[in-house]
Amino acid sequence: MTELVDVVLGGIFHAAVLFLVAAGLQLVFGVQKIVNLACGSFYALGAYFGITAVGIAIKLGMPPVLFFPVLIVAGLAIGLVGLPIERVLRTVYRRDESYQLLITFGFLLMFQDAFRYLWGATPRTMDNVYLAYGTAHFLGVRVPTYNLLVIAASLAIAAVLGLFLERTRIGRIVRATAENRDMAEGLGVNASRIFALVFTVGCMLGTVGGALVVPSGAASLDMAVELVVESFAVVVIGGLGSMRGALVGALIVGLMRAFSISLMPELEMLSVYLVVVAVLILRPAGLFGKATA
């Protein structure tokens, strides 16, 4: 029983982070119709920058307990790199989607070496800070409190994002632009400003996700390319462009991975891809996608 709770909690923690990145991917795809291969790079960027930011904060004499808000602020701040990248992407909005995919692949390659240059090739960790919050008892299992904080933060971000898109004026404009860009422009929407906003928010979701995950693991050069496939799996399972899909997809992928790691480590990612393939065959639009194919 305790083992089961342990595995489920681990899966949900992973899902919480995965959701943030996948939500960024969904938001950008939903509005700009671009599948952003660089989403994994944003995630890695958040992770590396988070380490640096916490390092600086501690050097300035900040108590380790405050590192959680520091990470969130760092993630949001570095997410602003989305702005200049969107300026470049803007040139290919009207092009064939293969070119859009390829240009984000180019960004991925560039980021890869930028990380190597700035932070070196060996994985970076944030050793002792992780346990500053101690551990909590949950259904008879000891879990780092930090993991629970991350899950809570991810849920909070999901709620804020949902409220923003559903309830605010700008959120309505974003949805209208996603639905029909030309019509929205005809009604006086400045679509390029909306695109810049959406891409930057999408980017911030990725960087915050990366910043939150790094205390429990490490920032490494592989994390970008590995996470791309995982978040792809999430959006394919959940349905391209659907936020609810990202949430459910992230849970499925996170739990799937946690269970296969504990039961049969060889199947770690294989099981995830099998679910992806099964979903694509049975419900090509994903669980929450619109029925287009």
Partner 1 sequence: MSHSSIDIVSPVAVPRTIRIDGSWVLLALIAIMALLPLVASPYVLLLMLPFVGYSIALFGFNLLFGTTGLLSFGHALFLGVGAYTAAVLTSKFGILSFEIILVAAAVISALVSVVIGGLCVRYTKIFFGMLTLAFGMLFHSFLFKFYAVTGGDQGMRVLRPLLLGMEWRGGKTAFLTGAFYYYALTLFALMGLTMWRITRSPFGLHLRAIRENAPKAAYVGVEVFRMRLAAFVISAVYGGIGGTILAVTTGLADPELAYWTHSGNLVFMAVLGGSGTFVGPAIGALVFVVLQDFVMALTQYWRFVMGAILVCLVIFMPQGLAGTIELLFSRRDREA
The reply to whether 35 sits near partner 1 by the rule CB under 8 A is yes
The three-class DSSP label of residue 25 is helix
Please report where in the chains the tokens 């590192």 appear, as a residue: 67
The reply to whether 284 sits near partner 1 by the rule CB under 8 A is yes
Provide the token pair at 200: 């930057």
Annotate each residue in 168-207 with x if it binds partner 1 (CB under 8 A) or - if it does not, as one string. ----------------------------------------
Annotate each residue in 125-144 with x if it binds partner 1 (CB under 8 A) or - if it does not, as one string. --------------------
Q: How many CB atoms lie within 10 A of CB 180?
A: 11
The reply to whether 117 sits near partner 1 by the rule CB under 8 A is yes
Residue 85 CA to residue 262 CA, distance in Å, equals 39
Rg (CA), the chain: 19
The reply to whether 118 sits near partner 1 by the rule CB under 8 A is no
Q: Which residues of 54-67 are buried (b: 16+ CB within 10 A; e: fewer)?
A: beebbeeeeebeeb
Beta bridge partners, 143, equal 136
Residue 75 or 249 having the CB closest to partner 1: 249
Least separation in angstroms between residue 8's CB and partner 1 is: 23
Give the C-alpha distances (Å, rounded to integers) separating 52 from 56, 64, 74, 214. 6, 14, 9, 11
CB 228 within 8 A of CB 210: no
Which residue among 15, 17, 37, 51 contacts partner 1 (CB under 8 A)? 37
Least separation in angstroms between residue 189's CB and partner 1 is: 25
Tell which positions 263-282 bind partner 1, by CB under 8 A.
265-270, 273-274, 276-277, 280-281
Residues engaged in binding partner 1 (CB under 8 A): 35, 37, 88, 91-92, 95, 97-99, 101-103, 105-114, 116-117, 225, 228-229, 232-233, 236, 240, 265-270, 273-274, 276-277, 280-281, 284, 293
